[in-house]
Structure formats: C-alpha cells, structure tokens
Amino acid sequence: MVEVIDCVRKLGPGVQFRCKEFRAEQAEMVALCGPSGCGKSTLLNLISGLLRPDSGIIRVDGIETQNMSEEEMDRFRGERIGFVFQTFNLLQPFTALQNVMLGMRFSDTRHSSEWKPRAMELLERVGLGHRFKSKPATMSVGEQQRVAIARALANKQKLILADEPTGSLDPKTAAEVMDLLLRLCEEEKVTLLLVTHDPTIAARFPRTFDCTDLVKDINEQVA
Amino acid sequence: MSLWHIAWGYIWNRKLITLLTVLSVALGVGLISAVHTLREETKRRFEEEGQAFDIVVGAKGSPLQLVLSSVYFLDAPTGNINYSDYEELLHHEDVRAAFPIGLGDTYRHFRIVGTVPELMHHKWIVDPISGRERIPFLLAEGRFFEKDFEAVVGSVVAQQTGLKIGDTFVGTHGFMEGEHAEYPYTVVGILKPGGTPNDRAIFTTLGSVWEVHSGHEARGEHTEGEEHHDDEKEVTAVLVNLQSPAMRFTFLDYVNREMNVMAAIPVNEIQKLYAQVLATANTVLLSVAYLVVIASALTIMIGLYMSIFQRRRDLAIMRALGASSIDIFGSVILEAFWVTILGIGVGWLLGNTVAWTLGMYLTQRIGMVITAFGLSGEMLFSYAVVIIVGLLAGILPARQAYRTDVARDLAAT
C-alpha cells in the first residue's frame, strides 16, 4: 500500500531527511515512533505529498507520487489519503457535518448528493449523531477529534495518516479516541500510519517503525 | 459545500470586519446610486414636462429663463409680449394649439398663472412607443375656472396654504410685498398631485391678471425691478403645440426671424442645461463616488489579506483535504465577491433612500417627483465596475492564499 524507497529531502542548511526503506501493506496498522525532530512527521508529509522528495520513490496504492504535478497530487490526496492531526484541524466557521462534508468536497469520489448522508452516517458511527450542527468551538476536544476521524474516512480513503492524534487529549479521552480510530480503520480495511511518542499507544499496534535518525545533520557527520 | 458556501462561511465567521468592509463599499455605491437616480429622474421629469409644448414664445432674453419661468414656474419671466403676438401664433397654419400665460402675481410665493380654460384640458403623449399620456390637470375636487377671479390651485398650494373650495385669497405683486386686496380670488378647484410644476401654481383666467394689473398700473404701484405692464393687453409667454414636433426648428427660426419676440424649444433648453451645468456636477459627484469605491476596495484587500494571514492553517487544512490551489484562490476571490455584492445591495438601499428623501424635498420645493428604488442601465454598469474593482481587490490576498506552504502551515500551532 505504501512504499518509501531511498527517499531524500533537504530540510535546511545541512539538515537532510533520508529514509532507506519503509513499507506498509493494505489494511496494516503501523505506529511510527521516535524522539521529537527525528523525522516522523516529515515521513508522513512525504507520503501524503505535502512535501516532495528531492530524490527517491514514494508509492501509494501502487502509484508513484513523487513526480506528480501539484494538481494531480491534490486530487490524489483528496481521494485516497485521510488525515488526523494532533490539534484536530477542524475549520472553525463550519459545523461538524460541514467539516466532514468538506472532506468529500475536494475529491471526485462521490456525487454531491451523497455528501450529506455519508457525513451523517460517519458522525453517527463516531457517536456524534446529536452534534451535526455544532461548531468546533462548542465541542469538547474529544468530540472534535471524533469529527476529524469521521472526516478522514469520508471518501473511503485507503490510507489514514495520523500525526499524534491523542497528543492534545487527556488519557481517558485518548484511549477512547484510539479505540475508535483502530476499530474504524479495521472495519474499513484502511492502512493506518500513526505517529506517536506514547509507548502505550505504540503497544496497541501490530507493528512499529522506528524513525530515529531519519533526519541528520550532514555537517556533524562530516565533522 | 460549494466554494460559495465556504467563502460565505468565512465571511460570516468575522462578522464585524465584514460589516465594516461592507459599509465602506456601501458608502461609495450609495453615492453612485443616489447620483444616478437623482440625475436620471430629474432629467426624465424635466424632459417629460418639456415635451408638453413644442415651442415657448416670450419676450427676448434668455431662452432658458423663458422656459424655466413659463413651463416650470421656476424663474422670473423674461418680460411680456403683446397679446397680438399670441393671436398671430394662434392663427398660424403650423400651430395646432397655443396657450397664453400671464405671470406676475403670487400668493404666499406660489405663482398665479393667468391663462385660457383650454389649457386645463391639455394633454400630451410622453412615450410615443407605449402611447402613455400625460394629463397634467386632473381635479381632486371642484371644477376648473370659468370666469375671472375663479382659481384652481395645485395640490402643494392647497396643502401648504390650507386653501379649500370656496376660500378667497388675494395675490401679491411679484414676489414683493404689496397685496391686491380689492381683487380677491375664489378657489373653485383643487388639482390632484401630479408631481409637476402645476402642483405649486395657481391657475386663473388671463382676464383676472389683466384686471388686477390695470388697477395696479393706474395707482402707479410698480417698484423698480418688476416687470412692466403696458396699457395694451400683454401676455408673459405663449405655450405652442405645432402640427408636428418635427417642425420645431423651422418654426423656431420663423418666430425668431419674423416676429419681435423670442422662441425656445423647452426640451432643448433643458438638455442644454443638463449638458452644460448638471453634467459637470454629475461628473464631479460620480468621480468622488468612484474614489470612495477604490478606497473601499483597499479596505476589502486589507481585510482579506489580514484574514488570509490569520487562517493560513485553515487553508493548509483545505489543501491537505485535497483542495487545489485554484480552489483556494477561488474561495478567497468569492469572499471579495460576497463583500462587494453585499456592499452593492446595502449601497443601493442607502443611495435610493437618500434619493427618495431628496425627492420628497424636491416635491415640496418644486413639485417634482423622484421615483427612487429603481435600477437603470447606467446603475447596472456602475455596479459591474464596482464588482470588477472588488474582485481585483481580492486577487492579491487570493494569490497569497494560493501560494500557501501546506507542510509549514500545518506544522505551525
């Protein structure tokens, strides 16, 4: 499902991201672990196409993405990749329902008449059937992250990239959100790549990938 | 969830800034709307009234003054002409109808117009295509004058002086002091409001005017600066309808060349007035209005720019959800469009309210009705210009949004 092969990206003067090889299979769940600044989020950004590699190959769902045009990458991302962020990243002017619908707005996967029923169904599944018309500011952090999970699944994406999705939550809510995310990804047979610092969360994954040393200071190495 | 919805959502999310921006656009648009409405309506009204008569004949002087005094009752008359000139005009083969008018006296600053009863039945077609007629003398109550010292008063006169059927009043010579107390007029009719100069005039027989002034002359009550009345019967002007409006210029030349009087074509004089004086005022006002629009476009641009700066993260999220750069660019441009459209809507309402209020004043002042709350071709053109300016104001912020660095902005917390 995801392949990153010999991928290099310059991040700053003398600072370079290099990933020799990373693979994840269809419906596999992988926790990406490592200390802050080691390159976990950079790896997610490269896989999603938000960052482009200077060299190497990135393959998602069997398609090489590193040479796609900006427009092709936008469309590809909208159709196949869902995001769950640490700070939820819901759009404040819009209701929970509209935020989930926005996940479908920018892809061609389904007709506009299907957006609302699909968004309602997903919100029901994450336990927010009573919060369709609520704006993010009026929701708890746990509820906001549930909306973000619903949005990430809106297009029946094949890949979910989650960047420390429980980082802003208290332990109880974090556990509930993780339960929900893992259950939904399993039900939908979605590949989940999740960045985390938390060993207890990493322990719930069948496989972990150690990101330590993905980012290196070339000057130090030379010295 | 179209881009329109998204743009609207962000506008609604910052209501206060949106409101202030909309108001700044509305100010410019309001000024444009008011200038257009007032100019078009006054011009239309003046021209409609000007169509009532093909030619106006009076004493030599300023043609515009002759038209303003005898058709619109606005200015002092140019002087008097002999009654025989009226008779000559009346019997000319090219003339379909001729109405003499005698001006001179007023009642509480409303003109007393001496004329023939036939004028009260005068009507004309204001729109040859639709055949719409203008019947300026319609009675609200009473009847038209039949003999001397009977008077028909305009609606504004009746309203402001309180004159009713059967009331009597006396005229004042010119606009100066000095009443003709021995010549009282009796009100026999009150006209319906017509939005014309007639609303502010009092109509009576020509004989009444002559009789008042023959006594006046005898006592030598003239003061310097007032028009002079000879012993011979005189009229102030003659309102002439020709067999065809196409004969206006030929007949104008004939009168000016062959008779010792002056002729003027009302519509032409009014159009000249507009072209020479009011067009300049109009251009100045419209220039100011467009400057206000440009200033408000800058407000739109600054508002949007600040908004884009504050929500770089939102734009990055949309990109992460699959929005293309074009989607982002479009949604920001649509925000500018919404603000501009709202500004135009509020501005139209504002401008027309001003025009309507001024129209009320003009109705009271000179009997002219201004029909506000309309849309003309020129207004639509101006609004289109405002929309283009608004969209241009959105381009720079939209470009800024378009170039968002998604990974960097998503990482920023």
Please write the tens of the pLDDT for every residue from A12-38. 888 889 988 999 999 899 999 888 888
Question: To the nearest whole angstrom, how far is the Cα of B399 from the nearest Cα of chain A?
Answer: 16
Give the residue-averaged pLDDT of A40-46.
89
Structure ipTM: 0.82
Per-residue model confidence (pLDDT) at position A127: 86
Report the percent of chain B where pLDDT is more than 90.
34
Q: Which of B251, B266, B281 is the last residue of a domain?
A: B266
Instruction: Collect all residues of chain B within an 8 Å Cβ-Cβ radius of residue A106.
Output: 318, 321-324, 327
Instruction: Collect all residues of chain A within an 8 Å Cβ-Cβ radius of residue B318.
Output: 91, 102, 106
Same domain? For B70 and B148 the reply is: yes
Same domain? For B262 and B277 the reply is: no
B407 contacts A45? CB cut-off 8 A: yes
Tell me what the pLDDT averaged over chain A comes to: 87
Same domain? For B240 and B279 the reply is: no
Per-residue model confidence (pLDDT) at position B98: 94
pLDDT tens-place string over residues B125-134: 777 777 777 7
Residue A43 has pLDDT above 50, yes or no: yes
Question: To the nearest whole angstrom, how far is the Cα of A82 from the nearest Cα of chain B?
Answer: 7
For B311, nearest residue in chain A (alpha carbons): A91
Same domain? For B38 and B177 the reply is: no
* A-proximal residues of B, 72-101, CB under 8 Å: none
Instruction: Collect all residues of chain A within an 8 Å Cβ-Cβ radius of residue B1.
Output: 98, 101-102, 104-105, 115
Given CB atoms, is B318 within the 8 Å cutoff of chain A? yes
Report the percent of chain A where pLDDT is more than 90.
31
Same domain? For B139 and B191 the reply is: yes
The pTM score is 0.69
pLDDT tens-place string over residues B202-238: 999 999 999 887 755 545 444 433 444 445 789 999 9
Q: Which of B215, B245, B266 is the last residue of a domain?
A: B266
Number of domains in chain B: 2
Task: Report whether A195 contacts A32 (CB < 8 A).
Answer: yes
Q: Which of B4, B6, B321 to mutate to test the interface with A (most CBs of A within 10 A)?
A: B321
Per-residue model confidence (pLDDT) at position A54: 92
A87 contacts B411? CB cut-off 8 A: no
Same domain? For B136 and B8 the reply is: no
Per-residue model confidence (pLDDT) at position B202: 95
Same domain? For B143 and B258 the reply is: yes
Per-residue model confidence (pLDDT) at position B366: 63
Same domain? For B114 and B241 the reply is: yes
Same domain? For B379 and B407 the reply is: yes
Same domain? For B38 and B58 the reply is: no
Per-residue model confidence (pLDDT) at position B225: 38
A-B interface: how many C-beta pairs under 8 angstroms? 74
pLDDT tens-place string over residues A54-103: 999 999 998 999 888 888 888 888 888 888 888 888 998 999 999 999 87
Query: One-letter amino acid identity for A124?
Result: E
What distances in angstroms separate CA B16 from CA B13, B27, B307, B345, one per listed residue? 9, 17, 12, 17
Per-residue model confidence (pLDDT) at position B193: 85
DSSP state of A136: G
Q: What are the start-end ranges of the H helices in A81-166?
A: 96-105, 112-125, 141-152
- 3-class secondary structure for chain B? CCHHHHHHHHHHHCHHHHHHHHHHHHHHHHHHHHHHHHHHHHHHHHHHHHCCCCEEEECCCCHHHHHHHHCCCCCCCCCCEEHHHHHHHHCCCCEEEEEEEECCEEECCEEEEEECHHHHHCCEEEECCCCEEECCCCEEEECCCCCCCEEEECHHHHHHHCCCCCCEECCEECCCCCECCCCCEEEEEEECCCCCHHHHEEEEEHHHHHHHHHHHHHCCCCCCCCCCCCCCCEECEEEEEECCHHHHHHHHHHHHHHCCCEEECHHHHHHHHHHHHHHHHHHHHHHHHHHHHHHHHHHHHHHHHHHHHHCHHHHHHHHHCCCCHHHHHHHHHHHHHHHHHHHHHHHHHHHHHHHHHHHHHHHHHHCCCCCCCCCCHHHHHHHHHHHHHHHHHHHHHHHHHHCCCHHHHHHCC
Per-residue model confidence (pLDDT) at position B120: 92
A77 contacts B406? CB cut-off 8 A: no
Instruction: Collect all residues of chain A within an 8 Å Cβ-Cβ radius of residue B407.
Output: 45, 50-51
For A107, nearest residue in chain B (alpha carbons): B322
pLDDT tens-place string over residues B302-331: 888 887 878 888 888 888 888 888 888 998
Given CB atoms, is A151 within the 8 Å cutoff of chain B? yes
Per-residue model confidence (pLDDT) at position B74: 83
Task: Report whether B202 contacts B102 (CB < 8 A).
Answer: no
Per-residue model confidence (pLDDT) at position B204: 95
Per-residue model confidence (pLDDT) at position B216: 55
Instruction: Collect all residues of chain A within an 8 Å Cβ-Cβ radius of residue B5.
Output: 98
Same domain? For B208 and B294 the reply is: no
Indicate if the alpha-carbon torsion angle B33, B370, B133, B267 is positive or negative. Answer: negative
Q: Give the number of residues written for chain A.
A: 223
Tell me what the pLDDT averaged over chain B comes to: 84
Same domain? For B283 and B253 the reply is: no
Residue B79 has pLDDT above 80, yes or no: yes
Per-residue model confidence (pLDDT) at position B287: 85
Residue B308 belongs to domain spanning: 3-45+273-411
DSSP state of A169: S
What distances in angstroms separate CA B149 from CA A17, A210, B23, B114, B202, one per listed residue? 107, 113, 57, 10, 11
Q: What span, in angstroms and rounded, lies between the C-alpha atoms of A189 and A157?
A: 10
B313 contacts A89? CB cut-off 8 A: yes
Residue B176 has pLDDT above 60, yes or no: no
For B14, nearest residue in chain A (alpha carbons): A93
Question: To the nearest whole angstrom, how far is the Cα of B335 from the nearest Cα of chain A?
Answer: 14
Q: Which of B214, B244, B266 is the last residue of a domain?
A: B266
